[in-house]
Amino acid sequence: MNNNYYASPAMERIRGRLERLYGPSAPRLLSRLAMMMGRYGLEPGPRAPLEIDERACMLIAYADSVRNPAGPSLPAMRRFLEKHVGKTVTHLHLLPFWPSSSDDGFSVKHFRTVEPRFGGWADVQALGQSYRMVFDLVLNHVSSQSGWFQDFTAGVAPGRDYFIAADPGGDFSNVVRPRSHPLFTPFATHSGVKNVWTTFSADQVDLDYSNPDVLFEMLDIVLFYAAMGARVLRLDAIAYLWKRAGTSCLNLAETHEIIRLMRDMLALAAPDVLLLSETNLPHAENMSYFGAGDEAHWIYQFSLPPLLLHALVRGTARPLAAWAEKLPAPSPGCAYLNITGTHDGIGLRPLEGLVPPSEIEGLVSHVSALGGRVSTRRTPGGSDAPYELNATWFDALGMGDAGAPDLHMARFLCAQAVLMAFKGIPAVYFNTLAAAANDHELASRTGMSRSLNRGKWLAGDLEKMLADPNSSSSRALAFHMRVLKLRGEHPAFHPDGAQKTAALSDAVLGIEREAPDGSERVLALANFGGRPELVSKAALRAHGWQGVLPSDLITGRDVSGPDGSIALGGYAAAWLREA
């Protein structure tokens, strides 16, 4: 590559980032990066970022969410999607499909190989013919069975320098923990027992990014995934990436610098590949991963699921509305990825500062009473505190003995209607799409609380459930497909469209969405209470919403009430166009 290339603004930015990370090694590392990009044939060219509009939505699924007893699972997944989903979904997040030793794929043994039980790269790329593929970049840690870690224990280069060993008796009191187990795990090595940094589990061994060779291993994997069809890379557990003695080892400046470096590299080599940060943290910390519009393109809206659960369990729209009213518009080219249930639990840290601690405890009690579980984290004081609620989204919204199945379903669909109306891009987890119940048998077998929400289906069993129009799975799938298609027909739901929110009563949330060009406005209403509500004309007028047409876009029903009000049933949602 010529000198003009090295002097380009993007390469100058990368040079500065490498200097801040690794000092005088930066010129050598910059040349190494340029050669790496050339090796993948991803040199600067005319490729442009893919356009995102109101049709954008994501399905999150395991490679074996739909299983074929007679062969690999990815072809079974493709057949299911062709039959039941089609083009309604634009993005498919295929959760880690690499060979792994635990945590359903997040303890990666080999980063460039598809787990044979799932299929091969040809099966992944076949899905990429219909969907923009989202791959997980599991970059904080690797499996203790990985080749890199086996080299570490054997003292073989380069893996011997890829991990962090320390005396666990040292002062690590400032380190923020997402789990309750010890920070260090002892491993037998060629030179004796070493205690190695393991943030998430004894099988997930943290990498040492102070060694530039570790970063370059991951940058190489980023380019490989781009070459294999990834259009979004999910940065798993990115907040914990860089460790520095005496700090929290969370959200460090070096971590943000690495994300900016990755974005600059992709802008040069693969500008149609986006970065999605996974930072299940308090809201302000999560938001920081947008940077100044130069870090993650998308961030998960992690506060939305626990706030929605809080709203529907307590029957109040006010905390959710107060939070939503303060949401800033993302920078151009950036967006929120909105979620409810995911493959992980419902995070509680994103609720910190948004609702009183006693109400967080109330959610813990609610989910526990319905058969869910609670995962904890170790606090700086040494005690354990709730970290996430483990349950399927459908079961988390259950009502115990207090409500009939139809009311439970209404509560669930109300939450999903809010998800699909919210500013950003909606993402629906496969088990939420199918209104799955907690998988207690799987959780008992694995010993993992998260397994409650990671159940899988044999293709034939899933088809039988969906063939019954009265089953929860059939009703949930039909609702999602109908409303996602509807959303894609209305430019008011463009991710860049303006959003205005308000609590119209204690129980009713209003979300106004407006098309970026001002051509359309839609008012989404949600009643978080189990009793019918009338939204008065005065309440609508107070927010400039008196011009809504009383015909619900979702159901086609007239929702007009007396004296110009809007009538909502218990746990009902409605989308209304504004004249």
Confirm whether 357 is domain-assigned. Answer: no
Confirm whether 492 is domain-assigned. Answer: no
Closest to 286 measured CA to CA, from 302, 263, 262: 302
pTM exceeds 0.95, yes or no:
yes
- pLDDT value, residue 402: 62
- DSSP letter string over 43-69? -S-S--PPP--TT--EEEE-TTSEE-T
- Block residue for tokens 């927010």: 543
Confirm whether 226 is domain-assigned. Answer: no
- pLDDT value, residue 5: 62
Q: 10-residue block means of pLDDT along the chain (579 residues)? A: 67 96 97 90 60 96 96 98 98 98 97 98 98 98 98 98 95 94 96 97 98 98 96 98 96 98 94 96 95 97 98 98 96 95 95 96 97 94 93 95 84 98 98 97 96 97 97 98 98 97 98 98 98 97 94 97 97 95
Strands (E), 254-341: 274-277, 298-300, 335-338
Question: What are φ and ψ of residue 234, in 5° steps?
Answer: -90, 120
Confirm whether 539 is domain-assigned. Answer: yes
- What is d(CA 211, CA 226) in angstroms, rounded to the nearest whole number? 24
Confirm whether 34 is domain-assigned. Answer: no
- pLDDT value, residue 39: 86
* Active-site choice (64, 236, 264, 439): 236
Confirm whether 503 is domain-assigned. Answer: yes
Q: Is 103 a catalytic residue?
A: no
Which CATH number belongs to the domain containing residue 520 in this structure?
2.60.40.1180
Position 8, amino acid = S
Give how many domains the chain has, as a whole number: 1
Confirm whether 266 is domain-assigned. Answer: no
Range of the domain at 512: 498-577
Give, as one character, the DSSP assignment of residue 506. Answer: S
- What is d(CA 434, CA 384) in angstroms, rounded to the nearest whole number? 33
- What is d(CA 329, CA 349) in angstroms, rounded to the nearest whole number? 22
Confirm whether 358 is domain-assigned. Answer: no
